[in-house]
């Protein structure tokens, strides 16, 4: 594991809460990763941008994006780091529901039909957020070529993506943290 990934893993360990908690998937868990504390911190955003960029830089992809709220800060980090590295990767955000005013968009960002995209998220459990983002992206004419999550809780998302022929990569998983 390179230095950036190791630093990022150590930051993830600092934002874990051990408590019985209900996840967005409806599942119960004995631990919770507070992704926003990590992704909205200066060091976390920088390291996430670097690690995601290292993974994406050689892929044939026009943009990355995902469902609000988990993907939003990751998109910003990837956009900034990719620009600084001379290989700009556009980003977009998928709203849970279309806006009720203005242009009434469900997807925001500098994308166009036919763009090859990767859907991103902070933490996956069952994969529901990524699947919703994929559905919206495809409805807008984007070509989804894969999905990447910062952390996989190893509770069925990977298997669900495989069934649907979605190339999926997680930077880290529950196994990397030795959580119960």
- pLDDT above 70 (res 180): no
Residues ≥6 apart with Cβ < 8 Å to 48: 8, 38, 39, 73, 74, 77, 78, 150
**pLDDT tens figures, 64-78:** 999 998 999 999 999
**pLDDT tens figures, 84-100:** 999 999 999 999 887 77
Total residue count of the chain as it appears in this document: 180
**Phi-psi region for residue 63, left (φ > 0), alpha (ψ -120 to 50) or beta?**
beta
For the whole prediction, is pTM greater than 0.95?
no
Residues ≥6 apart with Cβ < 8 Å to 102: none
Domains of the chain: 3-174 (3.40.50.2020)
Single out the residue of 167, 73, 82 nearest to residue 118, CA to CA.
Answer: 167
Between CA 57 and CA 35 the distance in angstroms is 23
- Output the pLDDT for position 21: 83
Between CA 121 and CA 178 the distance in angstroms is 21
171 with 55: CB under 8 angstroms? Answer: yes
**pLDDT tens figures, 119-132:** 999 999 999 999 99
């Amino acid at each position: 594991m390179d230095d950036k990934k190791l630093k990022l893993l150590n930051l993830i360990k600092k934002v874990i809460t051990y408590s019985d908690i209900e996840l967005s998937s409806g599942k119960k868990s004995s631990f919770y990763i507070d992704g926003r504390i990590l992704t909205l911190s200066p060091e976390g955003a920088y390291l996430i941008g670097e690690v995601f960029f290292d993974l994406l830089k050689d892929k044939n992809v026009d943009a990355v994006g995902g469902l609000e709220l988990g993907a939003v800060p990751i998109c910003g980090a990837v956009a900034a780091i990719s620009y600084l590295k001379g290989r700009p990767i556009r980003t977009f955000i998928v709203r849970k529901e279309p806006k009720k005013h203005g242009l009434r968009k469900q997807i925001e960002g500098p994308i166009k039909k036919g763009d090859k995209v990767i859907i991103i998220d902070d933490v996956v459990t069952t994969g529901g957020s990524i699947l919703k983002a994929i559905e919206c992206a495809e409805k807008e004419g984007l070509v989804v070529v894969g999905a990447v999550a910062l952390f996989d809780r190893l509770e069925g998302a990977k298997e669900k993506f495989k069934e649907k022929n979605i190339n999926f990569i997680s930077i880290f998983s529950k196994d990397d943290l030795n959580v119960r």
